[in-house]
Structure 1
Amino acid sequence: MRTSFKIFFVAFLMLPNTGCRDFLEKRPLGEIVLGSITTEEQAVLFVNAAYEPLLWGRGDPMQGHYFNDMWILGDIMSDDTETPVDPNNIQERALQDFNVFPDNPNLRDWFGSAYVGIARCNVVIRGIESASEGIFKTAGLRQRCLGEAYFLRGLYFFDLVKVFGGVPLVEAPITTIEQTHIARASEAETWAFIENDLRKARTYLPSVSVYRNTANLGRASKGAAMALLAKVLLYQQKWAASAEAAEAVMASGDYALTTDYLAQFNNQNDQNTIESIFEVQAFKTNGWGGGTEISLDFGRWGFNNPTKELVKAYEKGDPRLRYTVFSPGDDRFGQPYDPENGPNTVTGYLARKYVFDPATMGEAVNGWTNGEGINYIVLRYAEVLLIHAEALIEQNVRLKDAMADINTVRARKGVDMPPVPPGDQAALRQRLRHERRVELALEGQRYFDLIRWGKDYATSVLYDQGKTNFQYDKHKLFPIPQVEIDLNPLLIQN
């Protein structure tokens, strides 16, 4: 990571772990922090703490939000990857095989870490709105802190709604057990809440250009709020509004495609690039604590194996295949890759994206690895171009502009793929879906794309993969974790 801001864990210690379950396990501590933002330094620390659940989970931090669960839900449940039979990933195999039950810890931690983040955002929003404006000496800092909290809360709720559907809309700090008993909102209400948060964030946040070459690079920006809004609208099939939001990002001039596709995932010194819109910040440590686990999961342990179907999806000569996948015989850190000698694989392939040479990572004193400090990319400019293209195609308007978006992604330096040929709406829809698959592979996107592209499409793809346990109406949403059902009598299961 470059000079990006660090998420200081001292801020975490200042705040209660305010997920719904935690309030039933210990005395509520919310009143200690409510109204206690009395300096701008406190406000920044409180905001920093609201980022922290993006990286770490609740209860078992190894199963945290983007730390681990994103690829589990988004990749191995799709046709892009499989996970080996291993005593350490039984629950992941269950999800892969669509044996999906409410006691799966990956669902528990996805739900829980999101609500911890939401609770911290609520503390920030309430604390800043009730604080004296005179405490903020730095111009624009009050607005920035509010914007970051609204963006993060929108992101946490987006991650909840796409997995579980409508969820309880917690929009203020919780101080009593009774306040944790909140019924689920409808999906439409949840989506509307997210849109509102992101529109507020857009008005408060500065351009990312303010952050570049500063220690604040990596914080949420106006572009991040607009890009996430474009994606939120796309998921709802609000095509015209999604295209408009994407165009605002494109017209800002703040982003461009990097000239090194792989480096943005695999170079610790080349993160938060010109292509990055929002990524979860990690930092290299001398022990367990700062780095994400994704390089271990993909590389050292081989828990996310690309399928032969994903490999076949790449066009001949597309270099993104070798940027994303180790195929037999490829140079893998100075040695020809041999599936029989190396990390686990049930497909004959290993992930390349997000994977460091294990020899360079070193061992920590606790027997794990040094925190490898690789950020997790949540939004990047290539996806904004593809969001814009899809929104136009689905309206069947400006198809030449949609083609131009796709071709811009394909023509980036280091990829240099030929342009797609002209076509009608149906042909370009297929080109767009292909491009999303190969451009965003192993980034936790594929399963959610299949679901939003509809029952017939998802069923056909997953059945061709041999996943005949899949039932669209049953599996388009995941079950609410049973522990949350047990603790909140107003929650109704999917």
Structure 2
Amino acid sequence: MKKIFFLSTISAVLMMSACNKDLNQIPISTSTTATFYKSPSDFLQASNAIYADLHNYPVRLANMSEIRSDNIYGVSVTVRDWDPVNDFSPSLAANAYVTEAWGTDFNGIFRANTLLDQITKNGSYIGSASLATRLQAEAKFLRAFYYFDLVKYFGKLPVIDHPVTAPEASAIGRSAVADVYKLIIADLQAAMANLPATYTGVDVGRATKYAAEALLAQVYMAKSAPNYGIEGPGTGSNEWNLALPLLQDIISSGQFVFDPNYSNVFSYTNQSPTTNKEAIFDVMYTSGISGSSDLYGASFPWALAPNTYFLSIKDTKSNGSLEIIPVSNDLANSYETGDTRKAFSLYTAGYTNAGTTEIRPFFKKWLDITKIPAASRFDWGINFIAIRYTDILMLKAECILHGAPGSQGDADAIVNQVRTRAGLPSVTGVTLAQLFDERRREFADEGSRWFDLQRSGNLLTIMNAWIAKEDAQKAIKPVVANYVIYPVPQTQLDAVPGLYTQNPGY
């Protein structure tokens, strides 16, 4: 199967410092950019480098959305990095997951800014106006993608839309959420207007206009959510009617298909975007590349599965997390009898390793033990579906239930399409609460739960009720509005003291 190697090694002149310990990072020095961008392949490499910062995106979703939510009860025997995320610790600013999210997303933004700047300055070297336009649109899509990821985690952000020097970066404070959204929306509108609907050959898998439409719809819906009294992703803007036409255009395009077989959506033999019609935008991986140093393959399939499970099946390559990160009883018990998604998404059979039996369930949606990579646990060969067609359908139902054009019957039909695939009977009069419950099971282990809770407006009520029921060890602190978003990483606060103010509550 052909795959575009977004997650590939690129020329050293394009690589930013891997260190995320300060603000003073620029994508490429002035002298380097002046000598690098001299051919179409140089610009394509720069574009691929922006995609490369998606590599850890699915693992981040596992660590900062699933573990944060009521889908996981991740209280460890030995304190791990995920414990304070799970426990709503106010001392999260130095957490490795928080630091990685900020650093990697801004790395992608800086790379996008550099490419956009160089297309303006040296675009004549590309030789094709249409390719230059497409690469510019891809860079804007990806910049919007990274900024949207950041605003959902951190709220206010420094808005940087061009390459900056270290001294300039040290003077750019955090902008209001409204200003962050202005850049995201403008970028996605430009991307929609200039990205192709489809690709062929080695370009299959790049962002399309439908990926941009889907992301913009998600932006409008995140904005429309309540703000919980904080400067987070929700602004109460009530823009459901702006999201709906974008979702409907994707549905009406005929480019995507609701797969009647749930497990087929995640099959290792159904990875090509040309055949997996549920995939609107993938983070793409390829395993087994000789000399790849683990760079092309994925690690997210085992992010929420324990190493002891792999040891129990005699796999000795340390696939899996250091300890079990159990699925919550509340989620496991929420599946109706006959729901085929439970057996596919959750491992519930128990296992024994080194004389110890573990009966708590864990997520296994992305695992296929017949596909365990030969060389390394970081080299699994499965794509991550970042934007899925079923999500588009269910987001449409959500908009309708918020008053956008459409009927109750339209919303019911979408939910029943999902339920029928899962082997469940139809329902009528679906409410928003029921829709979010259905989404919880449909998208379990796909990283959407925390953001769904944000958007529902009921995050505090749902999470605190869950804690009271689930938290046997009394380890999790009450969830307050400030915990809807994460703290600014301590590394960023220390880089230029006083430039950023920490998010309240941390």
Fold match (TM-score > 0.5) = yes
Equivalent residues in 2 for 1:108-187 (5 A)?
Answer: 108-133=99-124, 135-137=126-128, 140-187=130-177
Q: Is 1:350 paired with 2:349?
A: no
Q: Which residue does 2:426 correspond to in 1?
A: 419
The runs of 5 or more residues in structure 1 that have no matched partner are: 56-63, 329-337
Return the offset for 1:21.
Answer: 4.7
Alignment deviations for residues 360-407 of structure 1 (CA, whole Å, 9 cap, x no partner): 42442xxx4361122222110000111111011011752222222222
Q: Tell me the distance in 2 between the aligned counterparts of 1:298 and 1:440.
A: 15
Return the offset for 1:240.
Answer: 0.8
Q: Is 1:235 paired with 2:238?
A: no
Return the offset for 1:20.
Answer: 9.4
Q: Is 1:488 paired with 2:496?
A: yes
Alignment deviations for residues 446-492 of structure 1 (CA, whole Å, 9 cap, x no partner): 12211232233443344433375132212011000000111134111
Q: Which residue among 163, 170, 180 is the counterpart of 1:190?
A: 180
Q: Is 1:205 paired with 2:192?
A: no
Quote the RMSD (CA, aligned, Å).
2.7
Alignment deviations for residues 250-289 of structure 1 (CA, whole Å, 9 cap, x no partner): 1111111224322332415534311101111111035522
Q: Tell me the distance in 2 between the aligned counterparts of 1:451 and 1:70.
A: 14
Q: Which residue among 358, 373, 377 is the counterpart of 2:381?
A: 373
Alignment deviations for residues 190-214 of structure 1 (CA, whole Å, 9 cap, x no partner): 1222111111111110013x34xx2
Greater CA deviation, 263-272 or 244-253? 263-272
The runs of 5 or more residues in structure 2 that have no matched partner are: 225-238, 311-319
| Cα distance change on mapping 1:419 and 1:274 into 2, 3 Å | same
| Cα distance change on mapping 1:344 and 1:391 into 2, 3 Å | farther
| Cα distance change on mapping 1:342 and 1:48 into 2, 3 Å | farther
Q: Which residue among 284, 297, 300 is the counterpart of 1:294?
A: 300
Is the partner of 1:11 in helix, strand or coil? coil
2:413 maps to amino acid: A
| Cα distance change on mapping 1:406 and 1:150 into 2, 3 Å | same
2:360 maps to amino acid: G
Q: Which residue does 1:361 correspond to in 2?
A: 372
CA contact (8 A) 2:287 2:298 kept: no
Q: Tell me the distance in 1 between the aligned counterparts of 2:27 and 2:411.
A: 51
Number of positions where the alignment pairs a residue of Structure 1 with one of Structure 2:
460
| Cα distance change on mapping 1:275 and 1:360 into 2, 3 Å | closer
| Cα distance change on mapping 1:279 and 1:126 into 2, 3 Å | same
Q: Tell me the distance in 1 between the aligned counterparts of 2:26 and 2:175.
A: 27
Q: Is 1:106 paired with 2:97?
A: yes
Q: Tell me the distance in 1 between the aligned counterparts of 2:246 and 2:115.
A: 26
CA contact (8 A) 1:19 1:115 kept: no
Return the offset for 1:351.
Answer: 1.6
1:83 maps to amino acid: G
CA contact (8 A) 1:385 1:409 kept: no
CA contact (8 A) 1:84 1:344 kept: no
Identity of aligned residues (%): 27
Q: Which residue among 76, 80, 91 is the counterpart of 1:85?
A: 76
TM-score normalised by structure 2 residue count = 0.84
Q: Tell me the distance in 2 between the aligned counterparts of 1:37 and 1:153.
A: 20
Greater CA deviation, 345-354 or 218-227? 345-354
Q: Which residue does 1:6 correspond to in 2?
A: 5
Q: Tell me the distance in 2 between the aligned counterparts of 1:199 and 1:435.
A: 30
Equivalent residues in 2 for 1:391-410 (5 A)?
Answer: 391-395=399-403, 398-410=407-419
